[in-house]
Structure 1
């Protein structure tokens, strides 16, 4: 099997995983990356792809540190729902399967995932809702709620908020059951408990 086949197939797997990552999409939709949040998410996906194929022996912890740092830097977001370790574990597992050419197994497993729309492309516009109370000095909005950027507001997504949080790193290290009031300007979002 050629390196080109491996890279092409691994890229398809990585794109499907990133397009299914609800926390990343919510960070973009809620304006945590600003108006260029979708482009930042695409760049994070691209960086992760290059990091994975450029390093033979990455550990899950190393990849996890990279993704956590990117989300923290670009979106002021920390995920407390274990989605990052799960994504990293799957990426490394699928990378190994791609290297071994086990595409039938990969396709079978990925087909069981919920189908999600491909949104990590420059030609797809996604919903952008600025964070309430943030200074929008770069945006001149008249307060009427009309958006001139062509993006629609989809309130259904608000009911689906996962547990990405905008909190300080020291706060996330505390027990998840212990509620910590975030600093002013930060928003805490928790997953629904079953």
Structure 2
């Protein structure tokens, strides 16, 4: 059996994957090829890079995590995030890492399960809201593509870029139900 710290470290990796897999800005960058031909691989690499960043740096401040995420997205995906989602994603990652540092495996697993469940529900709603293939009207064809709201998240976790994004950010009460604390 794995030691408690190794177990929570593995759970933290799963949490990073779930958070980044639900981040609309990253998903849009991958889906639209902003990372080039290897965008999906870059998104996978980013999971490990974020995990390593947390384990290699003690007592990270929220702005440090935001700066790191912004730098990776700018360097690897030629994308600048200005929708406010950097702060939200940073806070989610820091909350997960705090559980990891405290050896709170069950709390970490529960937070990941809630996030994954919420992603699946949003993904189902987005799938049901999409019109069937070949059933578009002229009005739908003329309508411009909708851009997701700031900080929006949708769909299941990776494989990267295999789903549409566009569902709105959950209200703060939903974030609290997922176990994300607003005050870090």
TM-score, with structure 1 as normaliser: 0.58
- 5 Å-filtered alignment, 1:100-139, equals 100-110=102-112, 111-112=114-115, 113-115=118-120, 116-120=155-159, 126=161
Q: 2:43 corresponds to which residue?
A: 41
Bigger fraction of residues in helix: 2
Q: 1:160 corresponds to which residue?
A: 166
* Higher alpha-carbon Rg: 1
Q: 1:59 corresponds to which residue?
A: 61
Query: What SS does the corresponding residue of 1:58 show, helix, strand or coil?
Result: coil
> Which runs of 4 or more aligned residues in structure 1 lie more than 2 Å from their structure 2 counterparts after TM superposition?
101-110, 112-118, 159-162
Structure 2 unaligned blocks of 5 or more? 121-154, 169-184
Q: 2:83 corresponds to which residue?
A: 81
RCO higher in 1 or 2 (8 Å CA, sep ≥ 6)?
Answer: 2
Residues 26, 161 of structure 1: 8 Å contact kept: no
Measured on the aligned residues, the alpha-carbon RMSD in Å equals 2.4
Residues 72, 78 of structure 1: 8 Å contact kept: yes
Query: 1:114 deviation in Å?
Result: 2.2
- Say whether residues 1:15 and 2:54 are aligned partners: no
Structure 1 unaligned blocks of 5 or more? 128-153, 163-194
